[in-house]
Chains A and B, each alone.
Chain A
Amino acid sequence: MFSIIWRTIKDRKISLISYSLGAAAFLEMYVALFPLFAGKQKEFEKLLNLYPEQLFQALGMDKASFNLARIESFIATEHFSLIWPIMAIIMMIAFGGAQIAGEIEKGTIETILAQPISRLKVFLSKYLAGLANLFVFVVVSVFAIAPFSAIHNVDYKIENFIKMAILGFLFGLAIFSFSMLASSVFSEKGKSNLVVGGTIILMYVINTISTFKESLKNLRYLSFFYYYDFSAAMNKNTIDGLAIWVFLGVSITATILGAVWFMRRDVGV
């Protein structure tokens, strides 16, 4: 199993390094910009008051805890609201899609399945490689705050970033698990990525609409973006227990379904 895990990680190393360093570079940019914004809270409050409340809700931002004097609030708004989740989503969808569907499409899956290793172990090896990938991405892209804040002489609360890393990992895990399920079902990487990407976009739309329309309010529970409360993690150092259960529940369910499907399906038709 280890050799498949290691080979999978090695094959994706360029992608992992690019995404991790890319996300870290964004973080560095925001930390470098932070001193320019800090201390201008009152001017920004005036500006923010011009925008409707729903807009903040739709973007998952807590206006009350928006405080430009604190790096956590600034980074949450600028980085973890959109850029970071987009990078995590793209990276994990691409990783998942390439693992089973991508290998079937290229025909390389036969090389692995001709070896004395069960399909379950093949699936789990690829899954564990994905987890390792996600872990490295989260650690590098979130905890890069430590060196960057030291360079720019900015104070930060490590516990809030730890919470953000946990939330980000769970969010990425749910997307990756869903992607592995789709990858097990389809025989083409493009189809797998399309289905997962389309579902994620739909979730984003559902979450946004549910904040504008009271009658559709309950639809938000169907969206990962409702549970991905970066604002609470970064500003209040909290993660909703329901979010943990939902992300873990989706991950476990999708992983079991994906593994069972892969074991039962025809490969190389």
Chain B
Amino acid sequence: MTNIIEVVNLKKYFSYFGIKGRDFVKAVDGISLEVKKGEVYGFLGPNGAGKTTTIRCIMDFIHPTSGSIKVLGKDAHKDSVFLKKKIGYLPGNVRLYDKWTGQEHIDFVESLRGKSKFVEDLKERFNFDPGKKFKTYSSGNKQKLGLILTLMHEPELIIMDEPTLGLDPLLQNEIYEIFDELQKKGHTVFVSSHNLPEVERICNRVGIIKEGKIVGIEKVGELGEKRLRKVTVRFDVKFKKADFEFDGVEKIEEISDGLILTVRGDINPIVKKLASYKLHDLEISHATLEDVFLEFYKGKNNV
């Protein structure tokens, strides 16, 4: 499958005129990733991990210290103007012109990109009033305007930096639906987030970044296979904790009349073992991607 984004050994260090003083920061430190055509790729990491810096390098807002970035097979810096025609970009915390109305923003983007066929549909869909000045919009409406400007030319590649940050659940769901539609239409989406359930909901693959380095790239489905489950069991009879100490059980915690087991991978051996007991209550829950993420981090930290 074609690579839409190809980042190789990207490094971005911040310093004053190349002097490694106290302001020297390794924001991104040698990351490589590929985003395939038609994929929704989640770029996951905590605040300050280097997500926004990477996106800004891809968008050619800032220049890498070293490494290469190709978008749609072209150099992100040299072919920046050509690529911007193909990319819709939504910055984190949308900041537009306070004194312009929503419509003036739309007109401005149309004057640079050409007339949009989809803008009216988007306005209607978001129930967005474009006649007001940007500074008077609520944060939700500001985000809606940002999304309209990003999507109104149906770009081949959509790059979004924390698109649902600070939004209410209704608008978040609206955005998730848009992601689904974009994917069905074959658009490629690169989305950064520190919201793990969100990434799980919308992405096919996820790159996990920590302290400027990629610590893992996984398919969201495969993450599920690696997923931890929490088994909370209460017994009606006496039980032996040792009966549950076998491969795949990562942690056993005793509670009154029962156990909480943290199980990785295949759950069948546990179910078989439990079947030999008379149970009072049983609850098997999927650990969230967050648990996996934290587990992943913990593992990498120990390396």
Contact = CB atoms under 8 A, between A and B. Distances in A.
* 10 residue pairs, one from A and one from B, having the closest CB atoms: A107-B95, A3-B111, A266-B62, A116-B84, A114-B89, A116-B85, A115-B112, A268-B61, A267-B61, A110-B91
B230 to A, nearest CB: 42
Contact of B112 (A3, A106, A268): A3
Given A115-B113, A117-B84, 15 more contacts: A3-B111, A7-B108, A11-B99, A108-B97, A110-B91, A113-B59, A114-B87, A115-B84, A116-B81, A116-B82, A116-B85, A116-B113, A264-B63, A266-B61, A267-B62
A46 B190 CA distance: 79
Nearest to B64: A266
B80 interface: yes
A214 B109 CA distance: 58
A113 B105 CA distance: 14
A3 B108 contact: yes
A114 B96 contact: no
A266 to B, nearest CB: 4
B97 A11 contact: yes
Interface in B57-110: 59-63, 80-82, 84-85, 87, 89, 91, 93, 95-97, 99, 105, 108-109
Interface of B: 14, 56, 59-63, 80-82, 84-85, 87, 89, 91, 93, 95-97, 99, 105, 108-109, 111-113, 149
Contacts of A2: 111
Contacts of A115: 84, 109, 112-113
A11 B63 CA distance: 30
Contacts of B97: 11, 108, 111
Interface in A84-124: 106-108, 110-111, 113-118
Which one of A3, A107, A110, A118 has the highest number of Cβ atoms from chain B below 10 Å of its Cβ? A110
A64 interface: no
Contact of A268 (B62, B87, B105): B62
A267 B108 CA distance: 21
Nearest to A267: B61
Nearest to B105: A111
Contacts of A4: 112
A269 interface: yes
A45 B97 CA distance: 55
Contacts of A110: 59, 61, 89, 91, 95
Contact of A116 (B14, B62, B108, B112): B112
26 contacts: A3-B108, A3-B111, A3-B112, A7-B108, A11-B99, A107-B93, A107-B95, A108-B95, A108-B97, A111-B96, A111-B97, A113-B61, A114-B59, A115-B109, A115-B113, A116-B81, A116-B82, A116-B84, A116-B113, A117-B112, A118-B80, A118-B81, A266-B61, A266-B62, A266-B63, A268-B62
Contacts of B149: 111
Which one of A7, A114, A266 has the highest number of Cβ atoms from chain B below 10 Å of its Cβ? A114
A104 to B, nearest CB: 10
Nearest to B134: A108
Nearest to B111: A3
Which one of B61, B84, B113 has the highest number of Cβ atoms from chain A below 10 Å of its Cβ? B61
A118 B59 CA distance: 12
Nearest to A114: B89
Interface in A115-137: 115-118
Nearest to B53: A269
A269 B65 CA distance: 14
Contacts of A118: 80-81
Interface in A1-60: 2-4, 7, 11
